[in-house]
Chains A and B, each alone.
Chain A
């Protein structure tokens, strides 16, 4: 499972920057019929978080009403150069992450 993560390459100190992430995930609700009968087991991403300068700067809980391949956009205050890392965990217990650098100055 991949993600398309958009972090601005550069920012001025104190600037509010927008982080956009599109996560590849089927977000199975558990109500969909599988080919040949039976239900596709429920498996959705339940938590998404963003980490920057060793701190959690954003987190969200997702629910079954969120469509497949969820798209999230949020802001953070750019203070130091470093990695912006987005992590997500689904109900199958799989943990994923993707990061991109930002240069502040």
Chain B
């Protein structure tokens, strides 16, 4: 049953009956224009910084990202659309920011970056930007199935002092309002993204933290196994939707 569900989730639903809406679809035309404007989207600053970092050689004497992987536009195309993916050495899945940080530590001899640092957001934004417009295509590696199920369990489990599950808002009440905010379906298509309320770039983990804080639950923490599981489930739920990072959100 579980396996069948996982397979079902991986296959993008037929377009005709697809009533999935991204946060972009729900935004005002003004904010959509800001996101689409090549000189109006502030998230592009992080993409540009990430591009410079990608080809800069670290002072440890190791290769640059480009030195190993080659031109980012071709080498990194489609990677973000497939992530999270399995890491052999850790024997568990890692998200894209985790993978990039592992490359820095393992292959460049650098110390790990803070999860919400501008440097890691920039590298992640640059790599994700190479998948802009590509459909989310979850990795079919069967070792990820159990993690997706764990993510679905977390998504449907009530939590926090308000005793609400993610699904109650994002499946049952999507399209309704929470005070002034429209409740989106919660698709992870735009991350890392520039949120006007944050006045900066933020990761999907930061968004998860906001929602958990909102129901007065203890957030699992950026980079945690729980967030990787949630992302795996949400990416399967959003399979076929186009990556739109760096997105804008109110």
User: Which B residues, 30 to 55, have Cβ-Cβ distances below 8 Å to chain A?
Assistant: 38-42, 44-45, 48
The dominant DSSP class at the B interface is loop
Residues of B within 8 A of A20 (CB): 39-40
Known pairs A2-B45, A2-B48; A22 contacts B199 (CB<8 A): no
How many residues of B are counted as interface, with CB atoms below 8 angstroms from the partner's CB atoms?
Answer: 11
Q: Does A77 contact B (CB under 8 A)?
A: no
Bound Cα distance A71, B199 (Å): 13
Known pairs A2-B48, A69-B45; A22 contacts B40 (CB<8 A): yes
A4 and B44 contact, CB distance less than 8 A: yes
Q: Does B56 contact A (CB under 8 A)?
A: no
User: Which A residues, 1 to 41, have Cβ-Cβ distances below 8 Å to chain B?
Assistant: 2, 4-6, 20-22, 24, 26-27
B45 and A24 contact, CB distance less than 8 A: yes
Residues of B within 8 A of A2 (CB): 45, 48
Bound Cα distance A67, B195 (Å): 12
Q: Does B156 contact A (CB under 8 A)?
A: no
Residues of A within 8 A of B39 (CB): 4-6, 20-22
- Residue-wise, chain B 181-207 has the 8 Å CB interface mask toward A (1 for contact) of 000000000000000100110000000
B130 to A: closest C-beta gap in Å? 19
Q: Does A68 contact B (CB under 8 A)?
A: yes
New contact pairs (18) apart from A4-B45, A27-B199, A68-B200, CB-CB < 8 Å: A2-B48, A4-B38, A4-B39, A4-B40, A4-B44, A20-B39, A20-B40, A21-B39, A22-B39, A22-B41, A22-B42, A24-B42, A26-B200, A67-B199, A69-B42, A69-B199, A71-B40, A71-B42
> Which 3 residue pairs of A and B lie closest in terms of their CB atoms, listed nearest first?
A68-B199, A69-B42, A4-B39
